[in-house]
Amino acid sequence: MSRVVGTERQHFVAGHVTARMGYTWQYYDLVLVGIFGSLVAGVLVGQFTAVAPTTSVVGFSFLAAVVMSHGLFVNGPVDEPSDLADEVDTLN
């Protein structure tokens, strides 16, 4: 048995209540979808138009590289460059 409270779904199992948060799309989810979508678009353009498949896949791969570069360098996973200089304790 379950019920929805706000954005959470509460499950009742043997007298215990567990709460699960609903999934929200994040920026890097969209980056992954953009990479995959551009490669699929390259294959589809190559199959269903007069453009050669190798040309379209290479062209759309450049689009995937631009999306990936934006995710890594423009809107990177760190807040500021000094975060990159922090040592990782678990590897030392």
Q: Residue-wise pLDDT tens for the chain (92 aa)?
A: 555 555 555 555 555 655 666 777 888 889 999 999 999 999 999 999 999 999 999 999 999 999 999 998 888 777 777 766 766 666 54
What local confidence, expressed as pLDDT, does residue 80 receive?
75
What local confidence, expressed as pLDDT, does residue 62 receive?
97
Angstrom distances, CA of residue 44 to CA of 34, 37, 65, 83: 15, 10, 18, 41
CA angle 31, 34, 39 (to 5 degrees): 135
What local confidence, expressed as pLDDT, does residue 82 receive?
73
What local confidence, expressed as pLDDT, does residue 45 receive?
97
Domain spans in the chain, listed from the N-terminal domain onward: 27-77
